[in-house]
Amino acid sequence: MYAARFNSLFEQGREAILAGAVQCQVPPVDGGSRWVMSVVLRPDAATARRIEDVTRNAMAVAGAGHWPTGKADSSHFTLRALENHRVSVPDGDARVARYIAALRKATSTVGPVRLTLSGLTLTPGCVMLCAEPGDDAVERLYDAYGDALAEDGWLEAGFDRNIWYSTLLHFTSPLANPQAVVQWVGDRRHLALGEVECRHAELVVYRFNGSRMVMETLDAVPLSHRP
């Protein structure tokens, strides 16, 4: 199931990139629909370093200037996007308080999330690390959080988040050697990076630091329940 979806993404990405139709990222703006406030799951430190190594290799093939989102301090798996980009989030923000209250409710019945990192894939705008759930924890957490959010879950109310992934590299300009990027990713479609166990869910916002997007954590909730 997951393999077929990632294969389809690769074919779409390959076709677009070879045609020169790369989707280029730009820094987000207030109220924009990209780089939105989200709840994410971060890999453990050892896995994050492995992901960063692969990201560094991807950058070497794609060329300078793209965003290495897979660096150890920013690699993540998005659980749910919540609202459009906000340049400033004040202390005591009412929406943030509701998002965290809902997250605490959702995590009370779900333990750590385990994902198997099974290879790379490609889209018109990025290189992705594919993840496959080791059990049903991530789907249960996603559903429980949606239920707990109620009307605050409007942004993804009609969206089916049916794959799990961590983006390694976001393209910011046309690729100097599109064929090399497609070949490099294609050769690593089944690159096994092991299993990751995510023990916290974090509410984050994204900030552009001049060379890439970084995450600012507003709050974190442990995934400690074990059925």
DSSP, collapsed to helix, strand or coil, labels residue 16 as helix
Give the pLDDT confidence of 180-213 residue by residue, as tens digits.
Answer: 999 999 999 999 999 999 999 999 999 999 999 9
Count CB-CB contacts under 10 A for residue 19. Answer: 10
Give the pLDDT confidence of 11-35 residue by residue, as tens digits.
Answer: 999 999 999 999 999 999 999 999 9
Give the pLDDT confidence of 94-126 residue by residue, as tens digits.
Answer: 999 999 999 999 999 899 999 999 999 999 999
Global confidence as pTM: 0.94
Count CB-CB contacts under 10 A for residue 170. Answer: 22
DSSP run (H or E) holding 11: helix 2-18
